[in-house]
Chain A
């Protein structure tokens, strides 16, 4: 798909293949439209130039017939592109369960990456090939945008919330990682690389990082250090909702609404607990906004997710 077309970027993920097909289709449609217009202008321009012998009798009178025809034709073509694009978009932006989940914190002007095993890197992201990687994105300051051209994936990283995207690389190699949302002075240098490795290489790379505590274990330390465990531990006497297994379930809130407990929900609850009081519990949790950085928040989220998983496996 990508080799025979000149000036074509690397295509290194299943996501990119889907976008490529659509893009090629659109190039063809665009080419046809432009060729039609250029062709008509040239043909008419030559044939009906001033002084040419061509007959000018019987100008088209019922122009609406033509207009209806090309309105219907363009609308039909556009709707096909719309449906195709929308389908692919929903597929691109609805992250499936991943083989691996990596946390990405953007700040001016660097990408901080945290692997579930606790490995950390800056401006580089090592991933295994042919695995579905979920990325959870957060920003510490302004809006950034996470973009890997070779994977055709991009999402803004908006402060105050988290976003989840995914990709599945199908080629090993080193690919550019960019920020595409202007974020201030050194925006242009907020770049890094994604290193796609074979599974054994990746496993070796993980062990070479010399990390002893996984992200969830680091999260447990944060959980104790900030006193979360005082209320939320199973053997606590305070009437607080248990967090074991909460991830991935629907939570009923005091105000009658129901929220799906994903990364963004857990993050919101830590920073702004009074807005998300769980039904049947008193609104006593202090808010932690301003006390926890995005990396600590990610560790906590990883920990809370892990205690859910632990219970699942204990069953």
Chain B
């Protein structure tokens, strides 16, 4: 196998005789009961795309409301909108986004396996996810929750009306889906790597998914405990979080952030993996400092468990505990900084092609850098005292969770689209969407840094008139961003029917996933591949590359 050249095999070569995973079976049951990781990835893709637009609708209402100082919505409606925006975007889009779709689809393909370790668990994870989705939609349709996505007690436990309990239960159920998916990835990556695929030959996307799975598996149970305790508190009134019964409201914040800070890294680690695949491929050179990138991923995953109280610097924790968590937060910023520098220097002496995935990936690096440096400001105790709870924080975490993560999600979508669907999209439209995303995003969220430092509190339906121009800019940016996010639906949808057929390896990438036909057959590989090289053997000097199973290719 390792000596055969299989580059750009035209249709009809023996390996392509097996039908693709898309056409292997055509009944609805064959989709709903499938155990094929690739089909399950598409099922997840459908679910999270739906929720992305539900959450996006809430975001639209928020920005619409803030276009005028008085607000257009009723306060009660506005409060429900930002609560549902947070809940849906965090748990129903961002956390599952890259792992359940691209992770599901490509982990087995990238490590040379036929499927994930537990295909039925994988399918169950999708059903559990949809069950939790139904519960959250129930709470939304019945009137919505109004406690904010952070559910701070005693507001959420004793004061908020609305369907707070249903929303919390949706999150509780959703956690099981996360746990099942994470467990599946960990076992698969440990046990099912092809011969020769050693740990230090894993593509960085696999490392990204591995690190995120470790965090998901260990942090999510704490979230389950939190939401269960919140339910107990709401129904029985035990008084865990209620000072009137001797409880402590701060306890909730500790428990909530013990999950939810690692959750931020759950959203960003897979995105880092995606970008680490794309930058070497389009710069046509090896990634700068592979080992450093792996170490940085794992360091972030581990350190992410020791920073949670940096959300509570003004909440009334001991000032010395504030000092400790500020220090750990600066520590976790170091591996993130290393990754940014490594990505950037990965362009040095490359032969850079600015295709859509690369534009999205470079957008990721820039937005992540801005999110990162403003994260340093928030880690600095005295500055956090000032900007905590203002739009500064909103802008910061949107730069990371939307600017960076969603850019990486779209980067992955474009990069792997030919492999998933077998079709090529229109490159110029895709580049246009990538640039539009970048422009729209910055226009939406950069003004919010300024608003934050001026003192505009988050979660307010109304604000003083002198801040209107910044808010109008932000709302205008949001409408550009909405177009940029909706555009791919059109041209990618168009490519499904009219796009050119993709070859096995349209981008000339080195990973094992590109040695299969596009789209891959149901069982991925006719024979288990043998890996002889580390990933990213691109040679910019001679414009050649060597795939991981050892096949040399000319540019």
Residue of A nearest to B464 (CB): A176
A71 to B293, CA, bound (A): 12
B271 CB to closest chain A CB, in angstroms?
A: 17
A85 to B75, CA, bound (A): 36
For residue A4, CB closer than 8 A to chain B, the reply is no
A7 to B348, CA, bound (A): 37
Known: A67-B289, A158-B316, A186-B75. A23 touches B250 (CB 8 A): no
By a CB distance below 8 angstroms, the chain A residues around B72 are: none
For residue A234, CB closer than 8 A to chain B, the reply is no
Asked whether, in the complex, the Cβ of B383 is within 8 Å of the Cβ of A44, the reply is: no
Which of A19, A63, A90, A161 has the most chain B CB within a 10 Å cutoff? A63
Asked whether, in the complex, the Cβ of A41 is within 8 Å of the Cβ of B389, the reply is: no
Residue of B nearest to A148 (CB): B455
A48 to B365, CA, bound (A): 18
For residue A30, CB closer than 8 A to chain B, the reply is yes
Asked whether, in the complex, the Cβ of A34 is within 8 Å of the Cβ of B330, the reply is: no
By a CB distance below 8 angstroms, the chain A residues around B186 are: none
Asked whether, in the complex, the Cβ of B288 is within 8 Å of the Cβ of A182, the reply is: no
Known: A44-B344, A74-B334, A92-B385. A50 touches B352 (CB 8 A): yes
A79 to B352, CA, bound (A): 36
Asked whether, in the complex, the Cβ of A60 is within 8 Å of the Cβ of B365, the reply is: no
Q: Mark A40-56, 1 if CB is under 8 A from B, else 0.
A: 11001100111100111
Q: Mark B269-302, 1 if CB is under 8 A from A, else 0.
A: 0000000000000011110110110000000000
Asked whether, in the complex, the Cβ of A184 is within 8 Å of the Cβ of B292, the reply is: no
By a CB distance below 8 angstroms, the chain A residues around B288 are: 60, 63, 66
Asked whether, in the complex, the Cβ of B155 is within 8 Å of the Cβ of A149, the reply is: no
Which residue of the partner chain, among A22, A33, A37, contacts B382 with CB atoms under 8 Å? A22
Asked whether, in the complex, the Cβ of B385 is within 8 Å of the Cβ of A189, the reply is: no
By a CB distance below 8 angstroms, the chain B residues around A84 are: 380, 382
B405 CB to closest chain A CB, in angstroms?
A: 18
For residue A221, CB closer than 8 A to chain B, the reply is no
A54 to B484, CA, bound (A): 34
B330 CB to closest chain A CB, in angstroms?
A: 4
Asked whether, in the complex, the Cβ of B455 is within 8 Å of the Cβ of A147, the reply is: yes
Which residue of the partner chain, among B71, B383, B455, contacts A22 with CB atoms under 8 Å? B383
Known: A22-B380, A40-B345, A154-B385. A33 touches B373 (CB 8 A): yes
For residue A263, CB closer than 8 A to chain B, the reply is no
Which residue of the partner chain, among B76, B315, B334, B388, contacts A75 with CB atoms under 8 Å? B334
By a CB distance below 8 angstroms, the chain B residues around A183 are: 155
Asked whether, in the complex, the Cβ of B459 is within 8 Å of the Cβ of A187, the reply is: yes
B491 CB to closest chain A CB, in angstroms?
A: 23
Asked whether, in the complex, the Cβ of B457 is within 8 Å of the Cβ of A178, the reply is: yes
B320 CB to closest chain A CB, in angstroms?
A: 8
Residue of A nearest to B243 (CB): A160
By a CB distance below 8 angstroms, the chain B residues around A37 are: 340-341, 344, 365-366, 369
Q: Mark A85-115, 1 if CB is under 8 A from B, else 0.
A: 1111110111000000000000010000000
For residue B403, CB closer than 8 A to chain A, the reply is no
A82 to B283, CA, bound (A): 36
Which residue of the partner chain, among B369, B379, B380, B463, contacts A33 with CB atoms under 8 Å? B369
Asked whether, in the complex, the Cβ of B314 is within 8 Å of the Cβ of A156, the reply is: yes
Which of A19, A75, A85, A289 has the most chain B CB within a 10 Å cutoff? A85
For residue B507, CB closer than 8 A to chain A, the reply is no
Which residue of the partner chain, among A48, A145, A152, A155, contacts B283 with CB atoms under 8 Å? A48
A154 to B349, CA, bound (A): 49
A183 CB to closest chain B CB, in angstroms?
A: 6
Asked whether, in the complex, the Cβ of B386 is within 8 Å of the Cβ of A152, the reply is: yes
Asked whether, in the complex, the Cβ of A184 is within 8 Å of the Cβ of B319, the reply is: no
Asked whether, in the complex, the Cβ of A89 is within 8 Å of the Cβ of B337, the reply is: no
By a CB distance below 8 angstroms, the chain A residues around B340 are: 37
Asked whether, in the complex, the Cβ of A93 is within 8 Å of the Cβ of B319, the reply is: yes
For residue B532, CB closer than 8 A to chain A, the reply is no
Asked whether, in the complex, the Cβ of A188 is within 8 Å of the Cβ of B376, the reply is: no
A302 CB to closest chain B CB, in angstroms?
A: 21
Known: A34-B370, A45-B352, A79-B330. A85 touches B381 (CB 8 A): yes
By a CB distance below 8 angstroms, the chain B residues around A314 are: none
Known: A9-B454, A160-B248, A188-B462. A82 touches B388 (CB 8 A): no
Interface of B is mostly: helix
A37 to B343, CA, bound (A): 10
For residue B308, CB closer than 8 A to chain A, the reply is no
A89 to B383, CA, bound (A): 8
By a CB distance below 8 angstroms, the chain B residues around A108 are: 159
Asked whether, in the complex, the Cβ of A78 is within 8 Å of the Cβ of B333, the reply is: yes
By a CB distance below 8 angstroms, the chain A residues around B388 are: 145, 154, 180
List which B53-79 residues lie within 8 A (CB) of chain A: 71, 75-76, 79
Which residue of the partner chain, among A7, A22, A55, contacts B450 with CB atoms under 8 Å? A7
By a CB distance below 8 angstroms, the chain A residues around B196 are: none
For residue B173, CB closer than 8 A to chain A, the reply is no
Asked whether, in the complex, the Cβ of A48 is within 8 Å of the Cβ of B338, the reply is: no
Asked whether, in the complex, the Cβ of B386 is within 8 Å of the Cβ of A23, the reply is: yes
Q: Mark B311-352, 1 if CB is under 8 A from A, else 0.
A: 001111001001100110011011001101110110111111
A301 CB to closest chain B CB, in angstroms?
A: 17
Asked whether, in the complex, the Cβ of A41 is within 8 Å of the Cβ of B337, the reply is: no
Which residue of the partner chain, among A26, A45, A50, A189, contacts B383 with CB atoms under 8 Å? A26
By a CB distance below 8 angstroms, the chain A residues around B389 are: 145, 147, 154, 180-181
B99 CB to closest chain A CB, in angstroms?
A: 27
Asked whether, in the complex, the Cβ of B243 is within 8 Å of the Cβ of A161, the reply is: yes
Asked whether, in the complex, the Cβ of B292 is within 8 Å of the Cβ of A19, the reply is: no
Residue of B nearest to A7 (CB): B450
Asked whether, in the complex, the Cβ of A67 is within 8 Å of the Cβ of B342, the reply is: yes
By a CB distance below 8 angstroms, the chain B residues around A57 are: 349, 541
Asked whether, in the complex, the Cβ of A182 is within 8 Å of the Cβ of B148, the reply is: yes
Residue of A nearest to B457 (CB): A180
A21 to B513, CA, bound (A): 52
A311 to B291, CA, bound (A): 69
By a CB distance below 8 angstroms, the chain B residues around A33 are: 337, 369, 372-373
For residue A143, CB closer than 8 A to chain B, the reply is yes
For residue B45, CB closer than 8 A to chain A, the reply is no
Q: Mark A141-184, 1 if CB is under 8 A from B, else 0.
A: 11101010110111110111101000000000000101111111
Asked whether, in the complex, the Cβ of B461 is within 8 Å of the Cβ of A188, the reply is: yes
List which B367-411 residues lie within 8 A (CB) of chain A: 369-370, 372-374, 376-377, 379-386, 388-390
B252 CB to closest chain A CB, in angstroms?
A: 10
By a CB distance below 8 angstroms, the chain A residues around B365 are: 37, 41
A40 to B541, CA, bound (A): 20
B104 CB to closest chain A CB, in angstroms?
A: 31
For residue A1, CB closer than 8 A to chain B, the reply is no
Asked whether, in the complex, the Cβ of A185 is within 8 Å of the Cβ of B76, the reply is: yes
For residue A18, CB closer than 8 A to chain B, the reply is yes
By a CB distance below 8 angstroms, the chain A residues around B159 are: 108, 141-142, 184
By a CB distance below 8 angstroms, the chain B residues around A141 are: 154, 159
Asked whether, in the complex, the Cβ of A89 is within 8 Å of the Cβ of B313, the reply is: yes
Asked whether, in the complex, the Cβ of B347 is within 8 Å of the Cβ of A56, the reply is: no
Instruction: Give 11 new A-B contacts, CB below 8 A, not counting A9-B453, A58-B349, A160-B243.
Output: A26-B373, A50-B352, A59-B286, A67-B342, A71-B337, A81-B380, A88-B382, A143-B315, A159-B243, A186-B75, A187-B79
Task: Kindly list the 4 A-B residue pairs having the minimum CB-CB distance in the complex, ordered from nearest.
Answer: A160-B243, A149-B455, A89-B381, A180-B389
Q: Please report A residues at the B interface, Cβ cutoff 8 Å.
A: 7-9, 18-19, 22-23, 26, 29-30, 33-34, 37-38, 40-41, 44-45, 48-51, 54-60, 63-64, 66-67, 70-71, 74-75, 78-79, 81-82, 84-90, 92-94, 108, 141-143, 145, 147, 149-150, 152-156, 158-161, 163, 176, 178-189, 272, 289-290
14 examples of A-B residue contacts, CB within 8 angstroms: A37-B340, A40-B344, A41-B365, A44-B352, A45-B352, A48-B352, A59-B286, A64-B292, A93-B319, A143-B249, A158-B315, A159-B249, A185-B146, A188-B463
